[in-house]
Structure 1
C-alpha cells in the first residue's frame, strides 16, 4: 500500500486497533482518522494500542454510523483509502 490518508470506520475494536498499530509500526500511512462509537479510552487496549492511538498521525472521531445525523460531514481532507470494519453497523441498539 502506498503511503496514504486512511479513514478507518470501526477502528477501536479488536481488528481496528490492530490495523492502526500495524500501519503505524510499518509506516504504511501518513494519517489515519478512526471513526467509532466507542472512544479509545473506553476500549480495552494494551499499551502498544494506546500508544498507537496517541500518535499524532491518528485522529479519533466519535460517531455511531447507524444514525443518519452522525454521518461524516466533518471530514475535510483528502482520503486515499476507506476501511469499513464496524461490528454493529446494522443494529442501532448494539
Structure 2
C-alpha cells in the first residue's frame, strides 16, 4: 500500500494534490473519476492501463500524463521507489 499525502485547497476543497510514495508491489484499484486527473512521475516507473487506450503504457521519471474525466485507469508501480504527484484541479 503506497503512502499518500493529500492537500486540499479552495473554498470547497475542489483542488486536490496527492503526493504518492510507492514501491514495486503497489497497484491502484481500477477507478474512474468525474473530474480530470494529471499524473507526474517524479521518480520510478509505472504502467498505466486506461479505458481509452488499446494497451497499457509505460511511463518513467519526468513523464506527465493527462486522464480525462470518466476514463477508467489502473496505476501499477514498477520500481522502488516510485514517487508520483497526482493533481485533481477541479474535484
What range is the shorter-chain TM-score in?
under 0.3
Query: Could you state the TM-score of these two structures normalised by the residue count of structure 1?
Result: 0.26
Query: Could you state the TM-score of these two structures normalised by the residue count of structure 2?
Result: 0.27
Structure richer in strand, relative to its length: 2
Structure richer in helix, relative to its length: 1
